[in-house]
Amino acid sequence: MASYLVAVAIVALIYMLLTVGLNLQYGYTGLINFGHVAFFAIGAYASALLTLKGWPLAPAFVVGMVVAGLAAYPVGLLSLRLSDDYLAVVTLGFAETVRLVIQEEKWLTRGVQGLPGIPRIFQSLGVGGYAELATLVTLVACNVAAVALLVHLVRSPYGRLIQAIRDDEVAVQALGKDPARLKVQVFMLGAALAGLAGAFYAHFITYISPDQFLSLVTFYVWIAVIIGGPGRTSGAVVGSLILMIFIEGSRFARDLIPGVSEVQMASVRLAIVGLALILFTIYLPQGIMGKRKV
Amino acid sequence: MSFTDFVNLLINGTVEGLLIALPALALTLVMGIARFPNAATGDYMTISAFAAVGVQALLPKSIVLAALGAVAAGIAIAVVFHLWVFRALQGRPLVASLVASIGIAFLARSVLTFFVGHDQQGFQLPLVRAWNFDGIRVLPTDLIVAGVAVAAMAALFAILHLTPIGRQMRAVADNPDLGRASGIRVRRVLTVLWAMVGTLCALGGLLFGAKAIVTPEFGWELLIPAFAAMIVGGIGSPVGAVVGGVLLGIAQELSVPFVGPSYKIAVAFGLLLLVLLVRPRGLFGVATAAR
Amino acid sequence: MTLLVAKNIVKHFDGLCVLDDVSFEVPERGLTGIVGTNGAGKSTLFAVVSGQFAADSGHVDFAGHDIGQLPPMKRARRGLGRTFQVPREFGHLTVRENLLAAAPRAHGETLLSVFLGWRSVAAEDAELGAKADHWIDFLNLKAVAGKPASTLSGGQKKLLELGRVLMLEPKCVLLDEPFAGVNPVLIGEISDKLRELNTSRGIAFVVIEHHLEALKALVQHLYVMDQGRVIADGDPAEVLEDPRVHEAYMGGVI
C-alpha cells in the first residue's frame, strides 16, 4: 500500500512540474501552448537515450531540461508572429509531429517498440522502496524549488510585464516595450520544466514509447491548470493534485464497477476530461483558486 | 520518378486534397464568422462517418440512407454543441471557445469509443476495379469522391453568394456588430452556419470512409492537415480552403517517395509553418494570422 | 519647431477608403485637437501615426525623423505615446502596477535580474514607485491605486491610461477621447491637468474628442475630419463657426 501511494505521489509531482510550467506560459503570460507534451517527450527521450549510452543521471537530467528548453526556442519565435489561436494549433501540430518523428526514426528511438531498461533514479539504493522514497523526496524538492522560483518571478517586474502582455499586448507595445523577448523566454522556461518532468518520468517508469506522449497528456495538464486556476501558482499545485486524484480514482472506480474494461475506462476518463474542459471554461474559468475572472 | 508515377501521385493528391478541403471549409467558415479554430471539426467528421457505419449495419442495402444518417449526425452534433457551448461563450475571449472545442472533441470521441471500441470500420461499398490508362490508374470511387466534394463546394458557394442567408453570413463575417445593427438575426445566421459546418464535416467523413478505413482517431488526425489547408488558402476564404486543400494533398502525395507515407502529417505541418512564416495571409486570405 | 507631421496619409480597409490624403502637424509643446463625426477616421489616423497600422501611402515624421517604417514600440520609445479610445488597461494588475509596468528601461524586466539582481531590482522598483505615486496623486487615483485595473470605472481607466503614458516621459501624446466616460464635473479638471503638463513639462498633446466645448477651451489648433478627409483646420473658435463644418455635422452625430 505504502509503495503504491509513493508511486502515485511521484506521478502527481511529475504532473505538478508540467502544470507549473504550463501555468507560467498560459496562466501568467497568456500563451496558448497546446504542444506541452512535446517537451515532456523531448526531456524524457533525451535523458533516457543518454543514460542508456552510459551517462550518469544528473547530467542527463540537465541535458533533458536544456534540450527541451532549446527546442522551445523556434516555437517561441513563432509565437511572436501568431495570434493566440494560431499558436494553439501550431503547437498542437508541433507535438503531433514530434511524436511522429519519435515513432518513425527507429534508428534513434526504437520507434513504437520504445526504450526499455532505462536506469532507475537512485538505483544504488536497491529494491527495498528506498529508491522510490528518495525519488519522491527529490521530486518534492524540485517542485518546491520550481514553485519558489516561479512565485519570485511572478512578483518581480518581469512577472508584472508578462501579465501585462497577457492582459493587453497592444498596450504593452504602445508603451515602448517588446513582448516578443519575454514570450520566447517564458515559452522556453515552461518547456524546460516539462523536459525535467519528462526526465523524471522516463527514469521512474523505466520504459518509454511514443504512445505515452499523446496530446491527451497536454490536455490533462490543461485541465489541471484550468481547474486550479490559471495565473495562480497555488492553482497549479491544487489542479495537479486534483488531476492525480481523478486519474488514480478512475482506476479504483473501474474495480468497483463490473463489466467495464480498461479500454472503456480510458474512454470514460477522456469523456470526463472533455466535459471538464467544457464546463470549467463556461462556468468557472478562473478555476478553484482564482478569485478574479480571467 | 517516372511520368506515370508522377501523374498517379498527382491524381491521388488531388482527390485527397479535395477530401481535406471539406473540413478545411468547415474550419474557414467558423474562423470567418465565429473567429476561432474549431478543434472539434475532425471529430465531427468521425462521428458522422461512424453514424454511416451504424446505419449500414442496421440497413445493409442502402448507401443513401447511410449517407443521410451521416449528414444528420453531423448537423446534429454541430448545432447541439453550438447551442450548448459556443453560444454560451460568445463575448468571451477566443481561447475559451478554442479550449471548449478541444473538450467537445474529446467528449465526442470518447462517447463513441465507449460504445464502439477502437476498431477500424469500413463502409460496405461495391467493389470496383481501377481503370487503367497506360499505367495511370483512376479509381471510380475516387471520381465519385471528387465529384461529391466538388458538388458540395459548389453548393456552398451558391449558398454563400446567391442566397439571402449567405449574404447575411458574409456580412456577419465582415462585421458582426454592423450586421446586428442592420437587423440581421445573428442567432439564425449562426445556427445555419453550424448546420453547414456539420454537413461539410459529415460529407468529409463519408468520403474519407469511402476511400479508406475509419478509426475513431481519423478525424482528429485530419485536424492539422485541414488547418494547414485553411492557412495556405487564406483564412476566411472558401476558395482558399479548396485550393489549399488540393495543394496540400498534392504536396503530401508527392512527398511520399521521399519521406515515406507516415510523414504526411509532418508535410502538412511543414507547409503550414512555411506559409505562416513567408506569407501569413495565405493565397486568398483577407484576415491575417500574424500580428 | 514642428514636432509631429503626418502628410498625405492614405489608408484603405477592405476596399473602403478610411483615410483620404490626410495631413496634420503639431508644433513642439503644441495642443492640437481633432474632431469629426463617427467613422471620420480619427482613431484610424492615430493608429497609423502610432504605428499600429501601416498606411497605404504618406509620411509620418516625428522630431525630424521619418518614423513610417517603425513598429509601435519603437515610436513609443522615441517619445510618441498614445492612449486608446476604448481603454486598454492591464486588468489583472493594480493601478500602481499598471504604471510600474509602463516605466521604460526597467532593468528588473530581464530574466537575469529576476534571479541574480534582487537588491538592485528592489531599489529600482522603489524609484519607479515614487514616480508612479507622483502620477497617481496628480491624477487623483490614490483611492484606487491598489485595486485591480479591471474594477475601475471607464473614466478612471482613461486617467490610468494617461498616467501610464506619462511614465514614458513622452514628448507628444495622442489622446483618443480622454473625456469619454468621465464625470462631466471632472472634465474641466482633466483639461487643467493637460494644460499643466503642457506648460510645465512641455508635452505636446493631440486630442480626439467629441466634447467640443472642452476641446475648444483646451487646444490651440483644431482639425475637423469628415469621411476620411480634413475639411477644416485652424483656430478652434473660427473653425467651429465654419459653415462647411456645420454642414458636415448636419444629421451627423457629434
Give dist(CA B247, CA B245) in Å, integer.
5
User: What pLDDT shows up at residue A291?
Assistant: 63
Distance CA B247, CA B268 (A): 10
Check CB contact under 8 Å for C148 and A292: yes
Cα dist from A285 to A30, A220, A243, B36, B107, whole Å = 14, 16, 17, 18, 19
Cβ distance of C101 and A164 shorter than 8 Å: yes
Q: Mind listing the pLDDT tens digit for each residue in A161-193?
A: 999 999 999 999 999 998 888 999 999 999 999
Name the average pLDDT for chain B: 88
Chain A: closest CA distance from residue B21 (Å) = 17
- Say how many domains are in chain C: 2
Q: Which helix (H) or strand (E) holds A28?
A: none
Residue contact C88–A292, C-beta within 8 A: no
Say how far apart CA A45 and CA B232 lie, in whole Å: 33
Q: Where is pLDDT greater, at A250 or B54?
A: B54
Best residue in C77, C90, C127 for a mutation probing chain A (most A CBs within 10 Å):
C90
pLDDT in tens, A119-144: 888 877 777 778 888 888 999 999 99
Give the Cα separation of A93 and B138 in Å (integer).
Answer: 32
Model confidence pLDDT, tens digit, residues B53-108: 988 888 887 888 888 999 999 999 999 999 999 999 988 888 899 999 999 999 99
Closest-CA residue of C relative to A154 is C114
- Nearest-by-Cβ selection for A100 from B109, B117, B265: B265
For the segment C11-39, the average pLDDT, to the nearest whole number, is: 88
Q: What is the pLDDT of residue B286?
A: 66
Cell digits for A71? 527546442
Inter-chain contact A156–C148, Cβ cutoff 8 Å?
Answer: no
Alpha-carbon distances, residue C31 vs A191, C56, C204, C205, C232 (angstroms): 49, 27, 6, 5, 17
Exposed, middle or buried: residue C199 (CB in 10 Å: 0-12, 13-18, 19+)? exposed
Q: Which residues of A touch B91 (CB under 8 A)?
A: none
Integer Cα distance of B102 and B94 in angstroms: 13
Provide the pLDDT confidence category of residue C228 given band limits of 50, 70 and 90.
confident
pLDDT one-digit tens code per residue, B138-173: 888 888 888 888 898 899 989 988 998 888 888 887
Strands C31-36 and C57-62: unpaired
Find the CB nearest C93 among A160, A176, A185: A160
Contact between C144 and C152 under an 8 Å Cβ cutoff? The reply is yes
Whether C195 and C242 map to the same domain: the answer is yes
- Asked if pLDDT for residue B45 goes beyond 70, the answer is yes
At residue B235, the 3 state secondary structure works out as: coil
In this structure, are C102 and C137 located in the same domain? yes
Question: Within a domain: residue C40?
Answer: yes
Residue C70 lies in a domain: yes
Give SS3 for B282.
coil
Chain-chain contact of A277 with B99 (C-beta, under 8 angstroms):
yes
Residue-wise pLDDT for B103-133, tens only, equals 999 999 999 999 888 888 887 777 777 777 7
Residue A14 in this model has a pLDDT that exceeds 60: yes
Residue with cell 518547456: A191
Question: Does residue C22 sit in the same domain as residue C107?
Answer: no
Q: Name the percent of chain C lying above pLDDT 90.
A: 50
Distance CA A128, CA A125 (A): 8
Buried b / exposed e along B4-19 (16+ C-beta atoms within 10 A)? eeebbbebbbbbbbbb
Partner-chain contact A104 B104, CB within 8 Å: no
Residue B288, pLDDT > 60, answer no
Same domain, C11 and C57: yes
Which of chain A's residues have a Cβ under 8 Å away from the Cβ of C81? 174-175
C13/chain A closest Cα distance in angstroms: 19
Phi, psi for residue C87 in degrees, rounded to 5: -55, 140
Query: Is residue A256 scored above 80 in pLDDT?
Result: no
Considering the domain boundaries, does residue C254 fall inside one? no
Domain shared by C121 and C245, yes or no: no
Full 3-state SS string of C210-243: CCHHHHHHHCCEEEEEECCEEEEEECHHHHHHCH
Give the Cα separation of A274 and B107 in Å (integer): 5
Has residue C27 been placed in a domain? Answer: yes
- Residue A80 contacts C, CB cutoff 8 Å: no
pLDDT in tens, B19-36: 999 999 999 999 888 889
Q: What is the pLDDT of residue A165?
A: 92
Q: What is the largest CA-CA distance in chain C?
A: 65
**With an 8 Å Cβ cutoff, are B269 and A276 in contact?**
no
A152:C114 CB<8 A: yes
**How much of chain A exceeds pLDDT 90, in percent?**
60
Q: Residue A294's pLDDT band (boundaries 50, 70, 90)? A: very low
Residues of B within 8 A of A77 (CB-CB) are none
**End-to-end Cα separation, chain B, in angstroms:** 41
End position of a domain, from candidates C151, C171, C198: C151
First to last CA, chain A: 40
Report the relative pairing of strands C31-36 and C221-226 from DSSP bridges: parallel
The stretch C83-90 carries a mean pLDDT of: 92
Best residue in A261, A262, A267 to probe B by mutation, most B CBs within 10 Å?
A: A267
Nearest-Cα distance to chain C for A22, in Å, is: 18
What distance in Å separates residue A150's CA from the closest CA in chain C? 10
At residue A63, does pLDDT exceed 90? yes
Instruction: Check A164 against C104: CB less than 8 A apart.
Output: no
Q: Least CA distance to C71: which residue of chain A?
A: A173
How confident is the model at residue A33, as a pLDDT? 94
Q: Which of A82, A274, A278 sits opposite B276 (nearest CB)?
A: A82
Q: Is residue C97 part of a domain?
A: yes
The string of pLDDT tens digits covering residues A270-285 is 999 999 999 999 998 8
Whether A291 has its CB under 8 Å from any CB of chain C: the answer is: no
Average pLDDT over residues C35-43: 84
Same domain, C36 and C138: no
Identity of the residue numbered C144: V
**C124, C237: one domain:** no
CB–CB contact A176 C88 (8 Å) = no
Write phi, then psi, for C206 (nearest 5 degrees): -115, 120
Q: Do residues C180 and C222 share a domain?
A: yes
Tell me: pLDDT of C178 over 80: yes
C190: containing domain: 2-89+155-249
Phi, psi of B143 (to 5 degrees): -60, -40
Kindly list the residues from chain C whose CB atom is less than 8 angstroms away from the CB atom of residue A171.
84, 88-90, 164
Percent of chain B, pLDDT > 70?
98
Indicate if C10 and C116 belong to the same structural domain. Answer: no
Total residue length of chain A: 294
Residues near C163 by beta carbon (within 8 Å), at least 6 away in sequence: C95, C98, C99, C132, C135, C136, C138, C139, C141
Q: Is B16 helix (H, G, I), strand (E, B) or coil?
A: helix
Greater pLDDT, A197 or C226: A197
DSSP code of residue C125: H
Same domain, C46 and C119: no
Nearest by CB to residue A174, choosing from C50, C110, C113, is C50
- Provide the chain A residues 222-261 that lie in CB contact (below 8 A) with chain C: 231
What's the Cα-to-Cα distance from C115 to each of A146, B24, B228, C121, C236, rounded to whole Å? Answer: 12, 46, 40, 10, 54
For the cut 90, the answer to whether the pLDDT of residue A25 exceeds it is yes
Average pLDDT of A48-61? Answer: 92
3-class secondary-structure state, position A287: coil
pLDDT confidence of residue C250: 59
Residue C59 has pLDDT above 70, yes or no: yes
- The domain boundary residue, chosen from C101, C125, C151: C151
Selecting from A97, A216, A281 the residue whose C-beta is nearest the C-beta of B96 gives: A281
Is C174 in the same domain as C220? yes
Contact flag A271-B107 (C-beta cutoff 8 Å): yes
Nearest CB partner across the interface for A175, out of C92, C110, C168: C168
Per this entry, what is the length of chain C?
Answer: 254
Instruction: Evaluate if residue C252 carries a pLDDT over 50.
Output: no
Amino acid at B271: L
Q: Tens digits of per-residue pLDDT, A96-118? A: 999 999 999 989 889 898 899 88
What is the β-pairing status of strands C80-82 and C172-176?
A: parallel
Helix (H, G, I), strand (E, B) or coil at C208: strand
pLDDT band per the 50, 70, 90 thresholds, residue B290: very low
d(CA B169, CA C18): 24
On chain B, the residues whose CB falls within 8 A of the CB of A278 are: 85, 100, 103-104, 107
Per the listing, cell 478553484 goes with A288
The CATH number linked to C80 is 3.40.50.300
pLDDT exceeds cutoff 80 at C180? yes
Domain final residue pick, C81, C116, C151: C151
Percent of chain C's residues with pLDDT above 70: 98
- Taking the domains of chain B in order of start, what are their residue ranges? 3-222
**Contact between chains at B104 and A81 (C-beta distance less than 8 A):** no
Q: Place A87 in a pLDDT band, splitting at 50, 70 and 90.
A: confident
d(CA B272, CA B224): 9
Max CA separation in chain B (angstroms): 61
Q: Rounded to the nearest 5 degrees, what angle is found at the Cα of A264, between the Cα atoms of A258 and A265?
A: 75
**CB < 8 Å to C72, chain A:** 170, 173-174
Q: Where is B262: in which H helix or E strand?
A: none
pLDDT recorded at residue B5? 84
Does C76 contact A174 at a Cβ distance shorter than 8 Å? yes
Task: Read off the pLDDT of each residue in C56-81 and give the average, rounded to a whole number.
Answer: 91
- What pLDDT, in 10s, does the model give residues C122-138? 888 889 999 999 999 99
DSSP code at position B136: E
Per-residue pLDDT averaged across B254-282, rounded? 88
The mean of the pLDDT values for chain C is 88
Residues C163 and C234 in one domain: yes
- In this predicted structure, the answer to whether residue B285 has a pLDDT above a threshold of 60 is yes
Query: For residue C129, what is the nearest residue in chain A, using CA coordinates?
Result: A157
Q: Nearest residue of A to residue B287 by CA position?
A: A83
